A = this chain, B = another copy of it.
Amino acid sequence: MSIDLSVNIAGVEFKNPILTASGTCGYGEELADLFSLSRLGGIVTKSITVKPRLGHPPPRTAETESGMLNAIGLANVGVDEFIEKKLPFLEKFDTVVVVNVAGAKIQEYVEICTRLADCPRADMVELNFSCPNVEEGMGIATSAVLAERAVAEVKKVFGGPVIAKLSPNVTDIAEIAQACESGGADAVSLINTLVGMAVDIETFRPRLTNNTGGLSGPAIKPVALAMVHKVYQAVKIPIVGIGGIATADDVIEFLLCGAAAIEIGTALFVEPDTPVKIARDLKKYLSKNKFDSVKQLIGQLRIYS
């Protein structure tokens, strides 16, 4: 029996539900030294901003229990160099390219997405509203009104599907997801990192020069799953699940909770070939359990009532 791993999000066909998460796979160049990017359902590139950014001074990362903190500070080459030098590299791979976009103001999202609208290889954009590392960015992630407006403005300029990436650092993520849906988002992705901190008890210094950072990795998986589950009950648009995914079993949990696809982040650092292994193990699970398509898992959670 042939197993179909493909999923469809907002009209875009993914050969499998496995994407790599923004900020954890650069612009694809380095991972391509490990496996062909054509094996990915999609790649979400590092957040780009209007101007290049160097990011925060080191230390930018800290190891935590079953996870890590980062405050990279949106280091990126800027939209110009991205379009000129980074996007062409991705052309040779048969995978969906999702360009992640970050900005301090709505206008910046619009500006970048206007530029991307002319790039055929920018299959989709993902709007990073939630990066906890830039003060200015926080507003959109935590405000339903701003999030809705940002999505609506971007939709006006970018022809392809738009994914809104949500922050977990809010009281009610479903409310923000609904606002994005109202704004015209074609999908939501969640979660970005949780605000966290670690302290060096010898120097009395935070372990990150940014003082706080974003927590990611297996530690946050339960939080991400609960949020995907909550948002699935609140919106009709597809959900891309993110947070602590390291194995095919993790992916299945997300799909059952309602994710139509997933992104792998921090796991790439520890096991850079995670997507390849997951695709293999996902097939095994499906065939063992007599499913012929991964779509048969989406939203099939049997909640207790």
Q: Which residues of A line the B interface, CB within 8 A?
A: 64-67, 69, 142, 169-171, 194-199, 201, 203-206, 209-212, 215, 218-223, 225-227, 229, 244, 249, 252-253, 256-257, 285, 300-304
Minimum Cβ distance to chain B for residue A209 (Å): 5
9 additional contacts (CB under 8 A) given A199-B252, A199-B253? A64-B218, A197-B226, A198-B253, A201-B285, A204-B301, A206-B303, A209-B304, A212-B229, A219-B219
Chain B residues positioned under 8 Å from A218 (CB to CB): 64-66, 219
A204 touches B302 (CB 8 A): yes
* Cα–Cα distance between A204 and B233 once the two chains are bound (Å): 17
Q: Is the CB of A66 within 8 A of B219?
A: yes
B199 touches A256 (CB 8 A): yes
A-side binding surface: helix, strand, loop or mixed? mixed
Contact (A244, B65) CB under 8 Å given A171-B170, A226-B195: yes
Query: In the complex, what residues of B have CB within 8 A of residue A195's CB?
Result: 223, 226-227
**How far is A226 from B195 in the complex, measured between Cα atoms in Å?**
7
Contact across chains for B222 and A69 when beta carbons are under 8 A apart: yes
- Once bound together, how far apart are the Cα atoms of A66 and B64, in whole Å? 10
Residues from chain B with a CB closer than 8 A to the CB of A252 are: 199, 201
A226/B65 in contact, CB under 8 A: no
| Contacting pair A223 B204 (CB below 8 A) | no
Known: A201-B253, A222-B198. A206 touches B304 (CB 8 A): yes
Using CB atoms, name the residue of chain B closest to A285: B201
Partner of A225, one of B196, B204, B229: B196
Question: Which chain B positions have C-beta within 8 A of A64?
Answer: 218, 221-222
User: Which of B223, B229, B302, B304 has a CB less than 8 Å from the CB of A210?
Assistant: B304
List, sorted by A's number, 6 A–B pairs whose CB atoms are closer than 8 Å: A171-B171, A195-B227, A196-B223, A206-B303, A211-B229, A211-B304
User: How far does the alpha carbon of A270 sit from the alpha carbon of B66 in the complex, in Å?
Assistant: 16
Instruction: Tell me, rounded to whole Å, the shortest Cβ–Cβ distance linking A304 to chain B.
Output: 5
* Closest chain B residue to A218, Cβ basis: B65
CB distance from A72 to the nearest CB of B (A): 15
